């Protein structure tokens, strides 16, 4: 029997695709848009299992090699094309995004991108866009692992349980429950949930829900389920309610909240499964509701659009003015559609149907003399572009030259701190007029800040700006460590006040890094540090991380602002206010540390705050 194409699934793909895209554009509005991937997982689990079971029942076997070849031809050409074309663009226009491209490419090709991202400590929630144009490939790897092992697992299950689909359904239910329980147990409040979000083991339950449904509700058998008029009305109403709840979830389930990982994502996957079942039955209206020319177009191209969305949004965000404005968003979306259409017609569809015989016949065909003058030059051109792009991929650095320079400077400054902490300037020494002019401060301000016994403590922000800070604070005690995390702040402060009891002023620059558990600076940590200061004046520098790379700037600054209202001896130095909207002038290529001009502004901001 010929397989029925269920057009309503294109509608589901469209819904999932739009949810994911708008989650990446407006994460504060489409807070649950990431659930579009869970919808894809459930749908993929159902369709692939339904297809394999149909083949097994018809032939008594599954042609695993043929299945994997079809999957390869369906998924890999477009994925490779997107990576290679993006690589060429990045080489000419945004070289910093090439960092680590070799590992991205290889991990994607071998369907282990999700585990590679986990191993390198990547965060899906910390870097939604910039510097991570291919981080969404984690989901392709999860599905790739499913495609690789699932046919063999089905064969084993069908033989062990002698084609008893109900028994297999029960087994899958147990396994998916274990997957969900693992997700629930691994989730910890205030800890980045990327490990859970990326893990095949913790996301498996969504795929297995769809797969389990296929065992008891095959698409070619549902017509046998007779429904009365009342039944149809009931199930049509259920479809409406289910769809509405799913859409609400796209707005209401935040990506890091406890409920999402301890029930929310499971509930969403279950409701997706219910909606799939209602769409599959030909006597119900859900399929027709989700079938129209728009969803047919977007649904058939949803894979390509999913591939292109983050690369395009990344490039657009770093190039277009005000990337969240409607004109910029429309330009980015138009580029996604255009690039998808190009790769759909020139890569995805042709290579999905290609065979070795067709390739051979194409180059041996001689009916038109002129064709040889076209196909060979075109073949050569494509080969050169592909080879060049692959060369760029495999020679891409892990870091850019600018980033290496930043790392080297940080290490040099740390070494200088230790030496110069032993050297003190004579009290009352007037400032060099050139220094006052450089930082835009008066002699009076200089004298005020240097009459205090100051310690300037923190992370790489302090280390990076040390040369400038030392010019204005020649007698301060400095301690700036690369990668210092919020959890280390209390120990840092206790050590400083113990070894230097004469200190009366502490300047703290902590907040750009996250703790080892993924958490950002907390109110409790600020409380502990402020209390450990023992009445000393504490000046805490807030942060300004480039918004498209890091999500926690507002979180950290809000916690600091609230603490400022709580303690009389705590003051906030507003680096965010001094540098906001001036990132391109004041920040280095890593969009975190100040450049030369930024270091001057950073130092002046601190001096101005302390001298008040």
What is the per-residue pLDDT for 185? 96
SS3 state of residue 539: strand
Q: Which residues pair with 538 in a beta bridge?
A: 506, 570
CA distance 553 to 303: 33
Transcribe 192-235 into DSSP letters.
Answer: -THHHHH-HHHHHHHHHHHHHHHHHS-TTTGGGS---HHHHHHH
Please say whether the beta carbons of 99 and 398 come within 8 A. yes
Report the 3 state secondary structure along 130-198: CCCCCHHHHHHHHHHHHHHHHHHHHHHHHHHCCCCHHHHHHHHHHHHHHHHHHHHHHCCCCCCCHHHHH
Report the CATH number of the 402-610 domain: 3.40.50.1110
Cβ neighbours around 21 below 10 Å, total: 24
Q: How confident is the model at residue 127 (pLDDT cuts 50, 70, 90)?
A: very low
Question: Residue 456: pLDDT above 70?
Answer: yes
Q: Average pLDDT for residues 223-251, to the nearest whole number? A: 95
Ranking 293-297, 329-333, 400-404, 412-416 by mean pLDDT, the lowest is 400-404
Task: For the chain, state the CA radius of gyration.
Answer: 29
Q: Average pLDDT for residues 17-30, to the nearest whole number? A: 91
Q: Average pLDDT for residues 49-64, to the nearest whole number? A: 95
What is the per-residue pLDDT for 388? 85
What is the per-residue pLDDT for 300? 95
Tokens coding 152:
């063999």
Please name the residues in contact with 400: beta carbons below 8 A apart, sequence gap of 6 or more: 95, 96, 98, 99, 589
Burial class (CB in 10 A: 0-12, 13-18, 19+), 556: buried
Question: Which of 408, 436, 413, 405 shows the shortest CA–CA distance to 589?
Answer: 405
* Segments making up each domain of the chain, as ranges: 8-61+142-354, 402-610
Host H or E run for residue 537: strand 537-541
Where are the alpha helices (H) located in 110-137, listed in sequence order?
113-119
Please name the residues in contact with 367: beta carbons below 8 A apart, sequence gap of 6 or more: none
Ranking 10-24, 61-75, 101-115, 188-202 by mean pLDDT, the lowest is 188-202
What is the per-residue pLDDT for 193? 87
Please say whether the beta carbons of 512 and 545 come within 8 A. yes
Q: Would you give the distance in Å from CA 67 to the centre of its chain?
A: 30
Question: Residue 549: pLDDT above 60?
Answer: no
CA distance 79 to 137: 9
Question: Residue 233: pLDDT above 70?
Answer: yes
SS3 state of residue 26: coil
**280-336 confidence digits (pLDDT tens):** 999 999 999 999 999 999 999 999 999 999 999 888 877 776 777 888 899 999 999
Please say whether the beta carbons of 77 and 347 come within 8 A. yes
CA distance 439 to 430: 15
Q: Give, as one character, the DSSP assignment of residue 321.
A: S
Tokens coding 261:
């990982």
Q: Give, as one character, the DSSP assignment of residue 263.
A: I
**139-168 confidence digits (pLDDT tens):** 999 999 999 999 999 999 999 999 999 999
Residue linked to tokens 């280095």: 588
Q: Average pLDDT for residues 160-180, to the nearest whole number? A: 97
Cβ neighbours around 578 below 10 Å, total: 19
CA distances in angstroms from 504 to 14, 82, 277, 464, listed in the order given: 61, 57, 69, 24
What is the per-residue pLDDT for 386? 84
SS3 state of residue 573: strand
> What is the overall mean pLDDT for the chain?
89
Residue linked to tokens 């060369």: 391
**24-38 confidence digits (pLDDT tens):** 888 878 999 999 999
Host H or E run for residue 506: strand 505-509
Q: How confident is the model at residue 128 (pLDDT cuts 50, 70, 90)?
A: very low
């Amino acid at each position: 029997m010929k397989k029925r194409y269920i057009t309503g699934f294109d509608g589901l793909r469209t819904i999932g695709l739009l949810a994911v895209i708008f989650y990446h554009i407006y994460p504060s509005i489409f807070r649950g848009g990431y659930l579009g991937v869970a919808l894809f997982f459930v749908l993929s689990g159902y369709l692939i299992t339904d297809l394999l079971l149909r083949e097994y029942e018809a032939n008594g076997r599954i042609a695993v090699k043929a299945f994997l070849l079809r999957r390869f031809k369906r998924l890999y050409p477009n994925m490779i094309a997107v990576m290679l074309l993006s690589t060429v663009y990045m080489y000419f226009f945004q070289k910093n995004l090439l960092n680590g491209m070799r590992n991205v490419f290889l991990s994607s090709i071998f369907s282990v991108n999700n585990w590679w991202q986990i191993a390198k400590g990547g965060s899906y929630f910390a870097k939604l866009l910039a510097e991570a144009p291919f981080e969404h490939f984690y989901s392709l790897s999860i599905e790739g692992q499913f495609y690789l092992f699932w046919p063999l697992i089905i064969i084993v299950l069908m033989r062990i349980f002698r084609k008893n689909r109900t028994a297999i359904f029960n087994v899958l239910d147990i396994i998916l429950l274990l997957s969900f329980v693992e997700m629930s147990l691994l989730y910890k409040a205030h800890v980045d949930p990327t490990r859970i979000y990326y893990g095949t083991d913790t996301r498996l339950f969504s795929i297995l829900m769809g797969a389990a449904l296929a065992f008891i509700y095959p698409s070619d058998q549902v017509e046998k389920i007779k429904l009365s008029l009342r039944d149809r009305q009931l199930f049509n109403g259920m479809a409406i309610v289910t769809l509405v709840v799913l859409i609400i979830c796209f707005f209401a389930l935040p990506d890091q909240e406890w409920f999402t990982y301890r029930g929310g994502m499971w509930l969403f996957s279950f409701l997706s499964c219910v909606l799939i079942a209602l769409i599959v039955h030909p006597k119900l209206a859900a399929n027709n509701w989700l079938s129209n020319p728009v969803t047919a177009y977007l649904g058939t191209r949803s894979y390509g659009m999913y591939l292109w969305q983050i690369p395009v949004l990344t490039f657009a965000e770093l190039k277009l003015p005000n990337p969240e404005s409607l004109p910029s968003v429309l330009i980015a979306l138009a580029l996604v559609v255009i690039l998808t259409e190009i790769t759909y017609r020139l890569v995805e569809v042709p290579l999905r149907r290609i065979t070795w015989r067709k390739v051979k016949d194409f180059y041996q065909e001689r009916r038109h003399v002129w064709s040889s003058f076209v196909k060979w030059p075109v073949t050569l051109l494509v080969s050169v572009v592909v080879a060049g792009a692959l060369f760029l991929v495999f020679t891409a650095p892990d870091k850019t030259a600018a980033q290496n320079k930043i790392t080297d400077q940080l290490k040099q400054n740390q070494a200088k701190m230790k030496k110069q902490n032993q050297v003190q300037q004579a009290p009352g020494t007037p400032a060099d007029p050139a220094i006052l002019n450089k930082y835009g401060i008066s002699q009076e301000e200089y004298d005020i800040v240097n009459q205090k016994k100051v310690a300037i403590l923190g992370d790489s922000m302090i280390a990076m700006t040390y040369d400038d800070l030392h010019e204005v604070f020649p007698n301060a005690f400095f301690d700036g460590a690369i990668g210092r995390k919020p959890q280390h702040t209390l120990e840092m402060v206790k050590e400083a006040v113990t070894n230097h009891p004469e200190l009366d002023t502490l300047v703290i620059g902590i907040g750009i890094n996250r703790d080892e558990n993924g958490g950002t600076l907390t109110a409790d940590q600020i409380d502990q540090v402020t209390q450990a200061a023992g009445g000393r004046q504490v000046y805490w520098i807030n942060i300004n991380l480039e918004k498209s790379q890091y999500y926690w700037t507002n979180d950290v600054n809000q916690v600091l602002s609230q603490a400022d209202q709580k303690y009389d001896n705590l003051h906030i130095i507003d680096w965010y206010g001094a540098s906001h909207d001036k990132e391109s002038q004041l920040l280095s290529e890593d969009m975190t540390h100040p450049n030369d001009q930024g270091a001057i502004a950073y130092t002046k901001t601190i001096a101005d705050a302390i001298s008040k």
